[in-house]
């Protein structure tokens, strides 16, 4: 079938690559406009645009889809199905209702849990042992459409956002191909979501990234790994310097070891007291520096035992 792909970041690339490699008829790619990045604020194309352009796939970057702004282009492309993966814009009815087989979304959670912008990060931060991918027939709601296929993925004890992002990207690409095959064969049975069981994964904000050492070690550890490698959780040294945490491990799972945030040990890692237990920071990003191991940071004598991180 004629596939129009809509997506923007690296997560969308997994599915777009799978479609192309499987020989699907990808007739166009719709992605967000180029955005300024870096110190020079030079315009940078989305990863999806770069991949599509290299393969000669037509790329469209509308600033809006509202009020029929993309309807003429859509009619000219004339897709039979629209595949949407982390596109970043709400689709209006004129787009949702156009293709014969509808608009199919690849969402990084087991719906109806974790609807919204940050399902992978929130699943890790909340200590889930499992997440997954759902393909869904889109409607006008936010991730509220009927479910088509699902696949579960385990979250390891030390998996971070990057690990789960890549796992779900790979699984989601395969699930999407299975979904398209079943759509064409007419063997899919859409399943309405249980809206009463829905949860929402809000966009990650700066306040989500501040580490609260008054919480237990497991919660602190989950926060660190759910936000790594980007945007990174953070704390502050006694002199007020920003200290971002790239990687940590649970030191002691239970017990009280002093005031939360107190540095307890500098033996190859920065061990910090939590409300319950301790965490050992093993990689970090000090203010004005590059990412480094805790051992290198410690050798710089930037912390002392008894210091309190806030």
pLDDT per position as a tens digit, 162-177: 999 999 999 999 999 9
Domain match, 145 and 218 both: no
Residue 266 has pLDDT above 90, yes or no: yes
Residue 301 — very low, low, confident or very high, per pLDDT cuts 50/70/90?
confident
d(CA 19, CA 24): 5
Q: Which of 77, 109, 111 is nearest to 6 (CA)?
A: 77
pLDDT in tens, 184-203: 999 999 999 999 999 999 99
Shared domain check, 168 and 19: yes
Question: Which of 201, 228, 247 is the last residue in one of the domains?
Answer: 201
Residues 257 and 127 in one domain: no
Mean pLDDT value of segment 211-230: 98
Task: Let me know whether 173 and 213 are in one domain.
Answer: no
What is the reported pLDDT for 302?
Answer: 81
The rounded distance, in Å, linking the Cα atoms of 267 and 108 is: 38
39 has pLDDT over 80: no
Would you say residue 175 lies in a domain?
yes
**Under 8 Å between Cβ of 194 and 147:** no
Band of pLDDT at residue 127, cut at 50, 70 and 90: very high
End-of-domain residue from the set 201, 233, 264:
201
Is residue 53 domain-shared with residue 102, that is, in the same domain?
A: yes
* Tokens (6 digits) for 74: 């859509």
Residue 228 has pLDDT above 80, yes or no: yes
C-beta of residue 249 within 8 angstroms of C-beta of residue 282: yes
Whether 126 has a pLDDT exceeding 90, the answer reads yes
User: Within this chain, do residues 72 and 122 fall inside the same structural domain, yes or no?
Assistant: yes
User: What single DSSP character describes residue 196?
Assistant: G
Instruction: Count how many domains the chain has.
Output: 2
Half-sphere exposure for 148 (CA within 13 Å, toward CB) = 27
Would the pTM of this model clear 0.75, i.e. be above it?
Answer: yes
Per-residue confidence at 38, pLDDT binned at 50, 70, 90? confident
Q: What rounded mean pLDDT belongs to the chain? A: 96
The 8-class DSSP code of residue 213 comes to: T
Query: Does residue 310 fall inside a structural domain?
Result: no
Q: Helix, strand, or coil here: 284?
A: strand
197 & 212 share domain: no
Which residues constitute the domain of residue 245? 206-299
Q: Tokens for 97? A: 């209702």
Q: Is residue 308 part of a domain?
A: no
- Shared domain check, 136 and 267: no
Q: What CATH number is attached to the domain comprising 254?
A: 3.10.25.10
The CA angle 169-56-12, to the nearest 5 degrees, is 15
Total number of residues shown for the chain: 310
CB neighbours of 151 closer than 8 A, spacing ≥ 6?
132, 133, 171, 172, 174, 175
Both 94 and 216 in one domain: the answer is no
Res 41: pLDDT: 79
Measured distance CA(222)–CA(208) in Å, rounded: 12
Comparing CA positions, the residue from 37, 46, 43, 64 lying closest to residue 9 is 46
pLDDT band at 1 (very low <50, low <70, confident <90, very high): very high
Which of the four pLDDT bands, split at 50, 70 and 90, describes residue 178?
Answer: very high
Residue 45: is its pLDDT beyond 90?
Answer: yes
Q: Which two tokens stand for residue 100?
A: 């014969």
Q: Tell me what percent of the residues of the chain surpass a pLDDT of 90.
A: 96
Confidence band for 159, pLDDT divided at 50, 70 and 90: very high
Q: How far apart are the C-alpha atoms of 257 and 283, rounded to whole Å?
A: 22
Last residue of a domain, one of 201, 225, 255: 201
Same domain, 9 and 88: yes
Q: Are strands 130-137 and 103-107 parallel, antiparallel or unpaired?
A: antiparallel
Q: What is the rounded average pLDDT of the residues 14-35?
A: 97
Residue 7 pairs in a beta bridge with: 85
């Amino acid at each position: 079938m004629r596939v129009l792909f809509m997506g923007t970041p690296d997560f969308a690339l997994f599915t777009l690559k799978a479609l192309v490699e499987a020989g699907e008829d990808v007739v166009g790619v719709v992605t967000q406009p180029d955005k300024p990045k870096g110190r020079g604020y030079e315009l940078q194309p989305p990863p999806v645009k770069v991949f599509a352009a290299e393969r000669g796939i037509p790329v469209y970057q509308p600033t809006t889809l509202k009020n029929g702004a993309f309807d003429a282009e859509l009619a000219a492309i004339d897709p039979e199905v629209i595949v949407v993966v982390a596109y970043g814009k709400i689709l209006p009815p004129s787009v949702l209702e156009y293709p014969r087989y509808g608009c199919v979304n690849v969402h990084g959670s087991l719906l109806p849990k974790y609807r919204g912008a940050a399902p992978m990060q929130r699943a890790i931060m909340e200590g889930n042992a499992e997440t997954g991918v759902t393909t869904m027939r889109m409607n006008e709601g936010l991730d509220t459409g009927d479910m088509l296929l699902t696949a579960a993925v385990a979250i390891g004890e030390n998996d971070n956002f990057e690990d789960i992002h890549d796992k779900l990207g790979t699984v989601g690409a395969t699930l999407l191909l299975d979904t398209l095959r079943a759509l064409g064969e007419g063997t899919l049975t859409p399943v309405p979501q249980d809206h009463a069981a829905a949860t929402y994964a809000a966009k990650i904000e700066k306040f989500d990234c501040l580490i609260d050492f008054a919480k237990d070690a497991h919660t602190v550890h989950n926060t660190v790994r759910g936000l790594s490698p980007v945007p990174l959780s953070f704390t502050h040294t006694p002199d007020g310097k920003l200290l971002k945490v790239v990687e940590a491990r649970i030191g002691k799972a239970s017990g009280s070891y002093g005031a939360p945030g107190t540095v307890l040990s500098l033996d190859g890692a920065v061990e910090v007291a939590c409300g319950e237990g301790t965490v050992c920071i093993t990689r970090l990003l000090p203010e004005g520096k590059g990412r480094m191991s805790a051992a290198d940071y410690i050798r710089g004598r930037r912390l002392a035992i008894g210091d309190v991180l806030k």
